[in-house]
């Protein structure tokens, strides 16, 4: 018998075609995000849920599912949207989609560094508004990447891919991690505070969890140089957003480039109003190639589960 799979958001066409061919699949036809009620109902009537990083699968929801659900195959490398302990308690396996999004996410980090330091967003907005008066030697003076110090917070796969790119741009690359990581052009700092003090650009690339909640808080923001910028393409809640707004508003740091927010899709209007802040709608892995590869990983994990094989990307 084919496994019953519910998919909570439309996925790239080749992924949906493969799912149709392999499973008794219920695709998301209306495109809308699943609310709690729809998630609960889906989790009652399927063997595997193909969730995504926007679905909140908390302990209450997981505790209330019947006995049918056996796998949550999350579309995303991050699984902080799922209460993993609750899934473990109910004997529900959880998988994610690592590796395939590393390069594109590192590209977005570099894009945020470029847009923020070179003031590209401001320039584009001004031109589109019809306010460009022609080339002037003193217009839009941003800052060069070459020679600037980059401090990477979290040296996993994405942090390392950022380090390689930043070194190619001529940046002096440093990183903080629980342990030193080998094989990249960067200097290790065990002391995050000390690294933050010397960085011109601080890039958050750590996974989100209890240990990294508000890792970049008001105290750490206060240690940053006044002309430094903060980049976050990891998870919004790793940064204390209230403290970030205050640091930016008071000119205690020079800018920020953000792809993620603590309460997505809500973005604090005070950030939206700031010219020195670049805001992207969680686009790190948003390429045809990567989103398709992520979907194929979801399929592989469900298929392995259906065949009783070891799950390639099991988190729980
Ligand atoms: C992830 O995979 O966790 C990203 O945030 C979305 O690609």
pLDDT value at position 185? 85
In this prediction, residues 264-271 reach a mean pLDDT of 98
In this prediction, residues 229-252 reach a mean pLDDT of 98
Ligand 1 atom at minimal distance to the Cα of residue 284: 7
In this prediction, residues 280-309 reach a mean pLDDT of 98
Q: Is 108 in the pocket of ligand 1 (CB under 6 A)?
A: no
In the numeric block, the tokens 């060069």 are attached to: 144
CA dihedral over 240, 242, 244, 250, signed as positive or negative:
negative
CATH class of 102-279: alpha beta
Count of alpha carbons within 13 angstroms of residue 294, beta-carbon side = 28
pLDDT value at position 137? 98
Alpha carbon distance 112, 129 (integer Å): 22
User: Catalytic pick from 119, 176, 220, 282?
Assistant: 282
For residue 58, count other CB atoms closer than 10 A to its CB. 13
In this prediction, residues 137-141 reach a mean pLDDT of 97
In this prediction, residues 164-177 reach a mean pLDDT of 98
pLDDT value at position 39? 98
Q: Is the pLDDT of residue 269 over 90?
A: yes
- Domain ranges (residues) in the chain: 4-100+288-307, 102-279
CA dihedral 193, 199, 200, 202 (to 10 degrees): -60
In this prediction, residues 148-166 reach a mean pLDDT of 98
Give catalytic status of residue 226 as yes or no: no
Give catalytic status of residue 264 as yes or no: yes
User: Catalytic pick from 235, 241, 291, 300?
Assistant: 235
Q: Is the pLDDT of residue 127 over 90?
A: yes
pLDDT value at position 233? 98
Average pLDDT, whole number, for the chain? 97
Alpha carbon distance 120, 186 (integer Å): 27
Ligand 1 atom at minimal distance to the Cα of residue 290: 7
User: Catalytic pick from 2, 187, 211, 264?
Assistant: 264
pLDDT value at position 183? 82
Cα 169–Cα 175–Cα 179 angle in degrees, nearest 5 = 145
Ligand 1 atom at minimal distance to the Cα of residue 97: 2
Backbone angles phi, psi at 302, to 5 degrees: -70, -40
**H helical segments located in 34-93:** 36-44, 59-63, 84-89
Alpha carbon distance 15, 133 (integer Å): 48
Label residue 184 by pLDDT band (50, 70, 90): confident
| Cβ-contact 315, 94 below 8 angstroms | yes
Q: Is 236 in the pocket of ligand 1 (CB under 6 A)?
A: no
pLDDT value at position 182? 86
Backbone angles phi, psi at 169, to 5 degrees: -85, 0
Same fold, 4-100+288-307 and 102-279: yes
CA dihedral 255, 261, 263, 264 (to 10 degrees): 120
| Cβ-contact 231, 201 below 8 angstroms | yes
Alpha carbon distance 80, 76 (integer Å): 10
In this prediction, residues 271-296 reach a mean pLDDT of 98
Cα(109) to ligand 1 centroid in Å equals 13
pLDDT tens, 54-97? 999 999 999 999 999 999 999 999 999 999 999 999 999 999 99
Q: At what angle do helices 13-22 and 288-307 cross, to 10 degrees?
A: 10
Q: Which residues contact 21 (CB under 8 A, 6 or more apart)?
A: none
Backbone angles phi, psi at 264, to 5 degrees: -60, 140
In this prediction, residues 40-64 reach a mean pLDDT of 97
Q: Which long-range CB contacts under 8 A does 305-312 form with residues at least 24 apart?
A: 305/3, 305/48, 305/70, 305/71, 305/73, 305/93, 306/2, 306/3, 306/22, 306/23, 311/71, 311/93, 311/95, 312/95
Cα(226) to ligand 1 centroid in Å equals 30
Q: Does domain 4-100+288-307 have CATH number 3.40.50.720?
A: yes
In this prediction, residues 302-311 reach a mean pLDDT of 98
Label residue 288 by pLDDT band (50, 70, 90): very high
| Cβ-contact 217, 246 below 8 angstroms | no
Label residue 236 by pLDDT band (50, 70, 90): very high
């Amino acid at each position: 018998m084919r496994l019953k799979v519910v998919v909570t958001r439309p996925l790239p066409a080749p992924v949906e075609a493969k799912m149709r061919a392999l499973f008794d699949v219920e695709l998301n036809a209306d495109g809308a995000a699943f609310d709690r009620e729809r998630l609960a109902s889906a989790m009652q009537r399927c063997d595997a849920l193909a969730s995504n990083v926007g679905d909140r699968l908390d302990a209450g929801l997981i505790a209330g599912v019947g006995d049918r659900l056996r796998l949550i195959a999350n579309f995303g490398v991050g699984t902080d949207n799922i209460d993993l302990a609750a899934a473990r308690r109910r004997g529900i396996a959880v998988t994610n989609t690592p590796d395939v999004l590393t390069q594109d996410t590192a590209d977005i980090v570099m894009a945020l560094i470029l847009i923020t330091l070179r003031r590209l967003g401001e320039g584009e907005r001004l031109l589109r508004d019809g306010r460009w008066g022609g080339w002037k030697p003193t217009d839009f003076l941003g800052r060069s990447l070459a020679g600037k110090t980059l401090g990477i917070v979290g040296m996993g796969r994405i942090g390392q891919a950022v380090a390689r790119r930043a070194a190619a741009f001529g940046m002096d690359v440093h990183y903080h991690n629980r342990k030193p990581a080998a094989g990249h052009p960067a200097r290790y700092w065990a002391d995050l505070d000390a690294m933050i003090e010397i960085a011109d650009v601080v890039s958050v690339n750590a996974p989100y969890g209890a240990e990294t909640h508000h890792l970049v808080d008001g105290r750490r923001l206060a240690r940053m140089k006044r002309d430094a910028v903060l980049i976050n393409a990891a998870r919004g809640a790793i940064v204390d957003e209230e403290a970030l707004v205050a640091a930016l508003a008071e000119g205690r740091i020079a800018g920020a480039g953000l792809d993620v927010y603590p309460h997505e899709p809500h973005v604090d209007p005070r950030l939206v109003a700031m010219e020195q802040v670049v805001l992207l709608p969680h686009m790190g892995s948003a390429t045809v190639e990567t989103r398709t590869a992520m979907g194929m990983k979801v399929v592989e994990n469900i298929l392995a589960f259906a065949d009783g094989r070891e799950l390639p990307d099991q988190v729980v």
